[in-house]
Amino acid sequence: MSIDELIDSASLQAVVAPEPLADLLRRSSAMHRHLCPRQVLGARMGMYAGELLGLALPQTNKRLYTFVETDGCFADGVSVATGCWLGRRTMRLIDVGKVAATFVDTQTGQAVRIAPRPDVRELARGYAPNARSRWHAYLIAYQLMPLNELLNAQPVTLTVDLKAIISRNGLRAMCEQCGEEIINAREVIHDGKVLCRTCVGEGYYTTVDQVYTERHQPNQE
Ligand SMILES: [Zn+2]
Ligand SMILES: [Zn+2]
């Protein structure tokens, strides 16, 4: 099938990329039940990071660490391509609302931030002129565009302490105020007390005065 035919029949699953990108996109779209432009960007950024850092990706170890700058489909595109996952503690969300990511080789300390070129949307239209919407044009074009038209890569130095973020296995503390366990050395010492960040006022919630009745409790059977 030609590209044009694929575009004409563009279903939400339109994978037109060559391998190995196509395989990555099939995997990320299977997780989402759709393929979208941001997944494509995420997968291509991850692959590009592997080239720039000289790492074979997706990794099966934890050598590469990724900071994604937004969540959603994009992050899963990055994960599928790199093997960095929130669940493997090789990915962290720094939510500044950008479709961009920084990839760090934890062995060498080398880091590169990759983002779409600011003019990527205009350039994209030339790669899928017959697409039935702009969204479809991006979906197709991001799979086909050469890297130098799609992405910018910039070597960077981290200003956060990656070793502290990764921390060590098996570290446990107990908050002296709420009594909850804290792992990965996220506790703080405040007035000589070991406390969690929530109890020192860095929490993201306040409690509500309401008691759950029995029918709200999880089924105990
Ligand atoms: Zn999506
Ligand atoms: Zn606490």
The CATH number of domain 3-163 is 3.30.1330.130: yes
Residue-wise pLDDT for 141-196, tens only, equals 999 999 999 999 999 999 999 999 999 888 999 999 999 999 999 999 999 999 99
The ligand with the least distance to the CA atom of 135 is: 1
What is the band of 51 on the pLDDT scale with cuts at 50, 70, 90?
Answer: very high
Rounded CA-CA distance 181/214 in Å is: 26
Q: How far is the centre of ligand 1, averaged over its atoms, from the C-alpha of 73 (Å)?
A: 5
Distance from the alpha carbon of residue 177 to the mean position of ligand 2, in angstroms: 5
CA of 92 from ligand 2 middle (Å) equals 23
Proximal ligand: closest to the CA of 174: 2
Residue 102's pLDDT is 98
CA of 23 to the centre of ligand 1 (A): 17
Distance from residue 166's CA to the centre of ligand 1 (Å)? 28
Residue-level pLDDT at 212:
86
- Examine the pLDDT at 7 and tell me if it is beyond 80: no
**What ligand is nearest to the CA atom of residue 179?**
2
Question: Domain boundaries in the chain?
Answer: 3-163, 167-216
| Number of the ligand closest to the Cα of 28 | 1
CA–CA gap between residue 121 and residue 19 (Å, rounded) = 23
Nearest to 116 by CA among 104, 97, 100: 100
Cis peptide before 58 (omega within 30 of 0): yes
CA angle 152, 153, 158 (to 5 degrees): 135
**For the segment 85-144, what is each residue's pLDDT rounded down to a tens digit?**
999 999 999 999 999 999 999 999 999 999 999 999 999 999 999 999 999 999 999 999
Categorize the per-residue pLDDT at 211 as very low, low, confident or very high, splitting at 50, 70 and 90.
Answer: confident
As beta bridge partners, residue 182 has 173
